Amino acid sequence: MSQWIGFTNQKLYQCRLLLEQLSSLQSAPAALQQALEESALYQLRDAWLSYLAELGEMVAYRQPVHSLAELRQQAAMTTGEMRELQQLAENGFSWLAQMLAAAEAQGQPAGQNQPAAAVQVMDIPGRIALVATPQSPVAGWLQNLTRLIDDQRANRQES
């Protein structure tokens, strides 16, 4: 078993823990909430890079992986998993492209990563109300990345 599988899972778990802490501290100072959200995004980015290393190891690529583009250029072979990730990354409206852009912007002084306001649909008898709820976009990205990794790993097991 690849050492990267456990490391990827660890980073996903750490991201989940930070997001749980964030959701339990809704009345905490904004600076603490932002610190937890940014930390969760760093863990998610690390999980992404670890998963890329996991894919690289499958094709005997043993160098450090810093991006999907680098992996695809340098690896001896491009797998179906890599192609699927590339399609998602190239679609500016996809969750993956948004996650990668947020992770990139987080390292820049001008990038203010404020928690996004989500809209929740409440079904009240006789009417529908839209209620703004503060929710980190990182939570959705975590869910999507975890699902994608699980699906790709399951597909490899079936092959």
Residues 66 and 39 sit within 8 Å (Cβ to Cβ): no
Residue 90 has pLDDT above 90, yes or no: yes
The 10s digit of each residue's pLDDT in 25-38 is: 888 898 999 999 99
| Torsion angle defined by CA atoms of residues 50, 56, 61 and 63, in that order, rounded to the nearest 10 degrees | -20
Residue 127: per-residue pLDDT: 55
Handedness of CA 114, 119, 120, 122 (dihedral sign): positive
The string of pLDDT tens digits covering residues 12-59 is: 999 999 999 999 988 889 899 999 999 999 999 999 999 999 999 999
Per-residue confidence (pLDDT) for residue 70, from 0 to 100: 95
Chain centroid to CA 97: 10
pTM for the predicted model, two decimal places: 0.81
Calpha distance 102→147 (Å, rounded): 20
Does the pLDDT of residue 103 top 60, yes or no? yes
Taking residue 81's Cβ as centre, other Cβ atoms within 10 Å add up to: 20
**Assign residue 19 a region: left if phi > 0, alpha if psi is -120 to 50, beta otherwise?**
alpha
